[in-house]
Amino acid sequence: MDFTISDELKMLRDLARQFVEKELIPLESVYVHPELPEEPRLALEKKAIALGLWAAAAPATFGGGGVNNLGMAIIHEEMGKTCLRFELGNPANWAILALGTPQQIERYLIPTIKGERHSMIALTEPNAGSDAAAIEATAVRNGGHFVLNGTKVFSSRWERADFMLTFAKTAPEKGRNGVTCFIVDNNTPGVRHVRWITVLGGRRTSELRFEDCRLPMSAVLGEVDKGFDLMQKRVGNSRFVLSSTAIGTSVRCLKMAAAYAKHRHTFGQPLASRQAVQWMLADSAIDIRAARLLVHDAAWRADNGTGTRTDASICKVFATEMVGRVVDRAIQIHGGIGVTQDLPLERFYSQVRTLRIVEGP
């Protein structure tokens, strides 16, 4: 197998690297709270759109970059090198691209590609997370529309999203074969933001309630009762991006640890001269290489039509456990300063713990 990165993808990597180094890393010490305020976020979005990084995976016919899975892995490895919480693109794009009607593409997909609208996913419920087929929200057909009721928790991006993909049982007796995906505008009457749920590191997610929300038939994404397959496919896709982000974070932390080990002296010698420290650095380099090979192999398979959801899950498990080890070693090498807010390691540490839970543990 040839894992040489093409010149085109190298250019894409350099573009993403410059964006991260020039635009994002300098803001890390300015915005230490995990939620980036709206004004700088919108300014960064404009820059990412201008560079073609915002909706890189969407087809060029819709104004996207037409970048393949390997290209997306390369972009997200660069994005993982910053602890500033700025995410490229929209979580709903992939599903709307796959199954959206021309009207849904016009109303939701194209505006998100242009940065005019923002999406979120509301799937998880108090009694259904990794076992997503156990959701209890219901959408009951009533003439020409559905009536949606239920509670969703841990939904990210409420503060910036204006529509969501949500999932509800339309045929509860059919289990996973009775789940439908809906595109819901966040200002639909009956959609209620109940409370913020703050997680590790101060990041915010939301609890939402649907109270007799009237949804037109045109809100169904794909086919009625076929939403479970869709969410499983989307999870495969997002696990891939998440794995690449973990690799980028690991690369930055290893680089910091190696530089610090050379510079910091204890007992008359640089830390880097101690074999115990060298082992930590070497183990991190090995971990990163293994994760990148897994992801590039899986991306290559996906681009060549032989990818599976198992590939994406293997990448996710390995890369998210790997980044935990690498950040932990980097902190250990830094000692006390490693856990201060003077360095990004402390923020990376809390961010990467969450990765082993989100998008399915």
- Give the residue numbers marked as catalytic: 359
Q: Which of 104, 155, 180, 320 binds ligand FAD (CB under 6 A)?
A: 155
Strands (DSSP E) found in 234-281? 265-266, 269-270
CB of 47 to ligand FAD, least distance (A): 24
Smallest distance from the beta carbon of 167 to ligand FAD, in angstroms? 8
Closest CA to 8 of 75, 79, 88, 78: 75
- Are 64 and 58 within 8 A, CB to CB? yes
CB of 306 to ligand FAD, least distance (A): 27
Tokens of 189: 């009457």
Describe the crossing of helices 38-51 and 7-19 by its angle, rounded to 10 degrees: 160
Minimum CB–partner distance for residue 23 and ligand FAD (Å) = 24
Of the pair 135, 219, the CB lying nearest ligand FAD is at 135
Q: State the Cα torsion 310-232-323-319 to the nearest 10°.
A: 20
33/263 with CB nearer ligand FAD? 33
Q: How many residues does the chain have?
A: 361
Residue whose beta carbon is closest to ligand FAD? 129
Residue 85 binds to ligand FAD (criterion: CB under 6 A): no
Query: CA–CA separation, 40 vs 24, rounded Å?
Result: 10
Give the one residue of 9, 25, 140, 199 binding ligand FAD; rule: CB under 6 A.
199
Which residues face 155 on adjacent strands?
206
Rule CB under 6 A: choose which of 156, 180, 250, 351 binds ligand FAD: 156
3-state secondary structure of 104: helix
Q: How open is the CA angle 55-58-62, to the nearest 5 degrees? A: 100
| Interface with ligand FAD (CB under 6 A), residue from 40, 111, 129, 270 | 129
The binder of ligand FAD chosen from 57, 123, 148, 184 (CB under 6 A): 123
Binding of ligand FAD by 357 (CB under 6 A): yes
Among residues 122 and 330, whose Cβ is nearest to ligand FAD?
122
Nearest to 355 by CA among 227, 203, 229: 203
Contact call for residue 345 and ligand FAD (CB under 6 A): no
Answer yes or no whether residue 206 interacts with ligand FAD by CB under 6 A: no
- Alpha carbon distance 85, 68 (integer Å): 24
Question: Which residue among 205, 244, 245, 284 contacts ligand FAD (CB under 6 A)?
Answer: 205
Nearer residue to ligand FAD within complex by CB, 56 or 122: 122
Q: For residues 161 and 220, which CB has a smaller minimum distance to ligand FAD in the complex? A: 161
Token pair for residue 255? Answer: 């680089």
Please give the structure tokens belonging to residue 306: 């032989």
Q: Applying CB under 6 A, does 124 fall inside the site for ligand FAD?
A: yes
Buried b (16+ CB within 10 A) or exposed e, 246-281: bbbbbbbbbebbbebbeebeeeeeebbeeeebeebb
The residue (of 115 and 129) whose beta carbon lies closer to ligand FAD is 129
Residues 32, 351: Cα–Cα separation, whole Å: 13
Among residues 70, 113, 122, 355, the one that binds ligand FAD under rule CB under 6 A = 122
Q: Which residues bind ligand FAD (CB under 6 A)?
A: 120-124, 129-131, 154-156, 199, 203, 205, 354, 357-361
